[in-house]
Structure 1
């Protein structure tokens, strides 16, 4: 026994194989079972299976050994044999609920969630007060997005004990409330979980929840701690920059997002927010650079494209607007939100036919947009399209009946 334990602790696989045959012949079944569990803990699954197979030969009706061997086979990827063993456990065996739970794990891994839940419910019907079965059901409900049901069970378990199967219930409650948009409760449980253990994921989860309920200072504190604990936790930089932006500290927000880009230069969201913060800090040329980088990562990144076109338009870089639009067209990407910028650009570049085509295509989507209608109206008047201009002016009068400019325009058609 001592020789076997020493070989396991030393990680000496050759010695384990050498000793195992003699061990199985001479040691008691209780000691064999103990060693099998230790082999499982150390990851020697083939060896553990060998022990359980031996014990199954000695005790063919022992349900616990059948279940333990099935568990090992499942971890080894031999799921068919594991399933066959589990299904052999009879309903009158005291271990039958445990077999149902392992079956539920199997079906859950296969994505057969309804079948898994049925197995857990069967086990709960046999042992209605067994909290570990309730915990297993809560885990399944959480994984399948049934957050309110999962939260109800976690809450009940929380009042019994703070941990089950080595899992913090406060942490689970934090995660389930956050997933279900119950950010106030989530933050409370995240803070409790952090008292037990500090981890990057818990810090980020607490910061995200705090951000959602506008507790930006709290979120900043959590994220700064997270950066110190794990500087490569990339998601922290964008959220921290957003927090600073909400606190109207645009300079710090900009510096933070640039720091994030140094660590992750393939996240288009970081480039987009860098562009936004550059604009907030009156740095349009830098904004253009970051937005171009975002679009290079995703040529159909709509928000980045829209902001970039608006900057080009403000700077009267109409050729750049047209180049960007025509590049998108070559890729069969069409988005009417860009049309007002594109129509104006074609107009300014004296490509009137194209300007008219884009204006006309955009009209239905922008018939509530006074700024668009005004430009469209004057374009039509300059292009001699009086009847169409008349319709646009009437629309402007409907939207702003007290605006004298539209009344004056309308009188021109009387």
Structure 2
């Protein structure tokens, strides 16, 4: 029977009192190797102070054992006892074979507190001593990645990959893909995602690979990854949007609409799904469906400007003037008023021959659209029809500046 089995049972039951009694008894025994294993087991289960107690006992027995100093320092850092940890690490002589490991631990600490320059110095010193140590090189690559130096990080990982394909349970192919993606080098990332997916297919990697493919316009590949993704994990919500967008880029609008409605079925509170469904329905000429989707998006977020603008444009184009005004009034009652709706509302009132209200909204729109020639043209003709010539001349003067090649504006002044 393994001597650690009673400890394992106590750990699994969370019996701290019994555990401490057992530790005190166990430290009397001369079996240092098993005691060291016990410290590791305690640390794995989160009993850091108890693990430190065992390591301190072993350090007392073996004061020159530097590995024990490193182990204690790592646990002390977890407890935010930095001074004690640093004292232990800096006490290790440069001639010790554990000195590079001490430097690595110091680098991890300085990186954690944001002192990247110091962390890099410690790593470089360790790499000088052990230039071919994969763990040190990987640590340097990780630090470069974290600080946004993606090309340098990729170079290090590229050199590591032929030596070993994983470090500390990290797949180097996947890490390289993520480094390249972070630096927007999606073309370079794609083959590494492919390698990673050969080893293990996970929802996150499928999505990342699809996103990289989408960015370089490999839409078919993106679709393949995303179809696999939503099959493996139907609740991976962001996959539906990217799948719909990929189909849309391939001009497969029916498939795009199906993908996004599948997403809505899984997450009915995602306003962006409804907006996309509205847009793709418009593209397909399915105006009633588009209106329904856009209304749903606005119901979820009454200040959703993209959906409001598209629905307002749809109503204006279809001359659904009552619906357009009703939308505006509803949003206003929700304490949301957006000046981009004013031109639509002005046109609606004008078509309904409610000219006073049309004039009110044209004036409101005019304050913000003095550089929009298309709006100003409508406004000029409205003012002229209403007999407001002086105001019309002011607008015509703006149009003369905006469109000096258009002689009509000069003839009207």
Identify the TM-score tier after normalising by the shorter chain. Answer: 0.7 to 0.9
Given that 2:324 and 2:348 are in contact with CA atoms closer than 8 Å, whether structure 1 keeps it comes out as yes
Show structure 2 runs of 5+ residues with no match.
Answer: none
Q: What's 1:310 paired with?
A: 313
Q: What's 1:366 paired with?
A: 372
Cα offset for 1:192? 0.6
Closer/same/farther in 2, CA of residues 119 and 358 from structure 1, 3 Å limit: farther
Report whether the alignment pairs 1:357 with 2:363.
yes
Given that 1:56 and 1:65 are in contact with CA atoms closer than 8 Å, whether structure 2 keeps it comes out as yes
- Equivalent pairs counted in the alignment come to 404
Report whether the alignment pairs 1:163 with 2:166.
yes
Query: How many angstroms apart in 1 are the aligned matches of 2:323 and 2:104?
Result: 62
The TM-score normalised by the length of structure 1 is 0.85
* Residue aligned with 1:133, SS: helix
Equivalences for residues 5-24 of structure 1 within 5 A? 5=5, 7-8=7-8, 11=12, 13-14=14-15, 16-24=19-27
Query: How many angstroms apart in 2 are the aligned matches of 1:267 and 1:79?
Result: 44
Q: What's 2:285 paired with?
A: 282
Given that 1:343 and 1:358 are in contact with CA atoms closer than 8 Å, whether structure 2 keeps it comes out as no
Closer/same/farther in 2, CA of residues 93 and 305 from structure 1, 3 Å limit: farther
Q: Which moved more, 1:43-52 or 1:305-314?
A: 43-52
Query: How many angstroms apart in 1 are the aligned matches of 2:105 and 2:198?
Result: 32
Q: What's 1:199 paired with?
A: 202
Report whether the alignment pairs 1:109 with 2:112.
yes
20, 27, 34: which one aligns with 2:30: 27
Given that 1:206 and 1:222 are in contact with CA atoms closer than 8 Å, whether structure 2 keeps it comes out as yes
Q: What's 1:294 paired with?
A: 297
Closer/same/farther in 2, CA of residues 412 and 46 from structure 1, 3 Å limit: closer
Closer/same/farther in 2, CA of residues 286 and 79 from structure 1, 3 Å limit: farther
Closer/same/farther in 2, CA of residues 128 and 276 from structure 1, 3 Å limit: same
Report whether the alignment pairs 1:387 with 2:390.
no
Show structure 1 runs of 5+ residues with no match.
Answer: none
Query: How many angstroms apart in 2 are the aligned matches of 1:323 and 1:293?
Result: 15
Q: Which moved more, 1:270-279 or 1:233-242?
A: 270-279
* CA displacement, residues 360-396 of structure 1 (integer Å, 9 cap, x when unaligned): 22334424xxx33432332232232341243255357
Closer/same/farther in 2, CA of residues 391 and 257 from structure 1, 3 Å limit: same
Query: How many angstroms apart in 2 are the aligned matches of 1:33 and 1:214?
Result: 54
The TM-score normalised by the length of structure 2 is 0.85
Cα offset for 1:201? 0.9
Cα offset for 1:105? 2.2
Q: Which moved more, 1:69-78 or 1:309-318?
A: 69-78
Cα offset for 1:301? 2.9
Q: What's 1:133 paired with?
A: 136
Query: How many angstroms apart in 2 are the aligned matches of 1:201 and 1:184?
Result: 18
Query: How many angstroms apart in 2 are the aligned matches of 1:356 and 1:284?
Result: 27
Cα offset for 1:12? 5.1
Cα offset for 1:204? 0.7
* Residue aligned with 1:274, SS: helix
* Residue aligned with 1:26, SS: coil
Cα offset for 1:131? 2.7
* Residue aligned with 2:368, SS: helix
Q: What's 2:380 paired with?
A: 377
